[in-house]
Amino acid sequence: MTQPGWPWWKEAVFYQIYPRSFCLADPGGRASRLAGVSQDKVRDGAGDLEGIRRHLDHLVWLGVDAIWLSPFYKSPMKDFGYDVSDYEDVDPVFGSLTGFDRLLAEAHERGLKMIVDFVPNHTSDQHPWFVDARSSRESPYRDFYVWRDPDPADPAKPPNNWKRSFGEGPTWTFDEGTGQWYLHLFLPEQPDLDWSNPAVVEAMESVMAFWLERGVDGFRIDVVHALGKDPALPDAPAEQAGIAWSALNDDERTHPILRRLRSFVDSWEGERVTVGEVFLLRASQVAKYYGDGDELHLAFNFTPMFCDFDAGCFGRRVAEVERLLSPIGAWPTWVLSSHDRPRCRTRYGGSERRARVAAVLVTMMRGTAFLYAGEELGLEDADVPPASVVDPGGRDGCRAPIPWDASANHGWELRVEPWLPFPPAADTRNAESLRADESSILHLYRRLLDLRRQVASLRRGDAELCETPADLLAVRRHLDGEQRFVLVNFGDGELAWSPPGDWTVELTSGGEGALSRPGSVYGGRLGPEEAVVLT
Ligand code: TEU
């Protein structure tokens, strides 16, 4: 299927697995790894790697090409794995290196690629590097992190006005023992590494080598735009001082770092890929991180994730991608949900119809698609009562456990409460029940991925935005004389529009009020919140 010069990752649909939320299959193994020390739901009620392995066939049936696995490394779990205390081991909550190797091998046997999360901006404060660094100013690891002296005139004032992510407060914590501030764009338990130190670059390359050697197909790189920092640490402009610095840092120094990481990853055999989390909210900013084809292979463009359910907003995002990325040969990505944002269905007001439209939007545009596990079930965020909140960033709802079947524990081998409550309607909205219903959103996702696989213009073709009435998004996909139209009615009433000529409905998002039937002649009308692909 893949053409020479056309790497697999350009055609791929990635499926993001947040290991805590996917499935728990081996509580006995966990109990012995934790030697009985653990009896709390945050550890014992979380998913494991074995749970992922058991459900690989779900992914094959669904038709995704690759898995992105969120962190499963050793971690004190202050940020549920994005605070890594050992980059080269598996946390006992999730499994072992042997279990990881088995998972990777079985994914590969099924033709699934797998990329892992690389968290280079910060470590855990429990990482041996930081433990050593804060033990003394003379520590050989001191310069792995970013330290600043207090201002003698105002020792209680942090070195600048940067605001941290998660909760209120500065990006600085004063270390009493050694009398200096250290930098952390996220929690105080996540000190930032100093990437201007060549020893850090080397240490982190050796982490990448560890996983590349084991056979991973690449990395999703966490907050990659934050690696290069201006050593003068200038204040955020006053009008942006309320925004976390992790969403503002956009420094030239990151680009040489990325060029080096790119050539490092490219030097391994096979087509390994880097997907950068560039959490900057203008597509023009994101575009720069592709470099001249020599930085990131792919960069997340999150701007569509911040659109309401609105044709105008989505249209502008499609146009922007074409205007800013195509001319520089940067291959786009589409992502509408993740472990950091409320699920599509919840964001768009709760209707399944809109979740179905989201399925079409994320898979039918020009670019690599990223699906967050559970979106294929049309899940809503869980309702998390205050007493059950665990995430300092307020992101628990979208991290609820995936319901696999209708049984009481929904296919999880639970010995304690799950770490978060199951999402709404799990008795009927679970993988097994939806698989038995061909009209379900799960089958819609499967049909979309199958269509993408069959139709080259949907994978590789141009995307041209058409002039349309308000509420309608129409994108013409085109490649070597083959074309498709993707039409999306964002309005809650019927709408009449057709591209010139005669068309057949190849796929409809379906749902309540849909007017089209696959295989029938397109009658020129769309049902409320209906999306179709025309051939
Ligand atoms: O997220 C980084 C990030 O900047 C946002 O997605 C974050 O939710 C926002 O800044 C909130 O203010 C990545 C990971 O995806 C996230 O889960 C981690 O918590 C974070 O990095 C720190 O590693």
Does residue 2 carry a pLDDT above 60? no
Q: Which residues carry out catalysis?
A: 222, 277
Residue-level pLDDT at 272: 98
Span from the CA of 334 to the centroid of ligand 1 (angstroms): 18
Q: With a threshold of 0.95, does the pTM exceed it?
A: yes
| pLDDT classification of 185: cutoffs 50, 70, 90 | very high
Span from the CA of 319 to the centroid of ligand 1 (angstroms): 27
| pLDDT classification of 215: cutoffs 50, 70, 90 | very high
| pLDDT classification of 141: cutoffs 50, 70, 90 | very high
pLDDT tens digit string along 307-336?
999 999 999 999 999 999 988 999 999 999
Q: Which atom of ligand 1 is nearest to the CA of 393?
A: 11
Nearest-angstrom CA–CA distance, 335 and 208? 24
Q: How many other C-beta atoms can be found within 10 angstroms of the C-beta atom of residue 230?
A: 10
Does residue 1 carry a pLDDT above 90? no
The answer to whether 339 and 395 are in contact (CB under 8 A) is yes
The residue to mutate among 75, 165, 168, 224, having the most atoms of ligand 1 within 8 angstroms of its beta carbon, is 165
Does residue 467 carry a pLDDT above 60? yes
Instruction: Tell whether ligand 1 has an atom less than 6 A from the beta carbon of residue 340.
Output: yes
Span from the CA of 185 to the centroid of ligand 1 (angstroms): 10
**Residue indicated by tokens 């855990």:** 124
| pLDDT classification of 6: cutoffs 50, 70, 90 | confident
Residue-level pLDDT at 3: 62
Round the CA-based radius of gyration of the chain to a whole number and report it: 23
Instruction: Tell whether ligand 1 has an atom less than 6 A from the beta carbon of residue 186.
Output: yes
pLDDT tens digit string along 484-501?
999 999 999 999 999 999
Instruction: Tell whether ligand 1 has an atom less than 6 A from the beta carbon of residue 392.
Output: no
Q: Which atom of ligand 1 is nearest to the CA of 119?
A: 23
Name the DSSP letter for residue 275: E
pLDDT tens digit string along 403-413?
999 999 999 99
pLDDT tens digit string along 25-80?
999 999 999 987 777 888 899 999 999 999 999 999 999 999 999 999 999 999 99
The residue to mutate among 340, 341, 390, 391, having the most atoms of ligand 1 within 8 angstroms of its beta carbon, is 340
**Of 3-17, 307-321, 468-482, 498-512, the least confident:** 3-17
Q: How many other C-beta atoms can be found within 10 angstroms of the C-beta atom of residue 394?
A: 12
Nearest-angstrom CA–CA distance, 468 and 526? 13
Write 193-196 long-range contacts (CB < 8 A, 24+): 193/120, 193/121, 193/122, 193/123, 193/144, 193/145, 194/143, 194/144, 194/145, 194/146, 195/120, 195/227, 195/228, 195/229, 195/253, 195/257, 196/228, 196/229, 196/231, 196/253
Give the CA distances from residue 120 to residues 125, 257, 366, in Å, rounded to whole numbers and listed in that order. 14, 11, 29
Task: Take residue 468 and report the two structure tokens written for it.
Answer: 């349309």
The fraction of the chain above a pLDDT of 70, given in percent, is 99
CA dihedral 65→217→372→45, nearest 10 degrees, is 120
pLDDT tens digit string along 147-172?
999 999 999 999 999 999 998 899 99
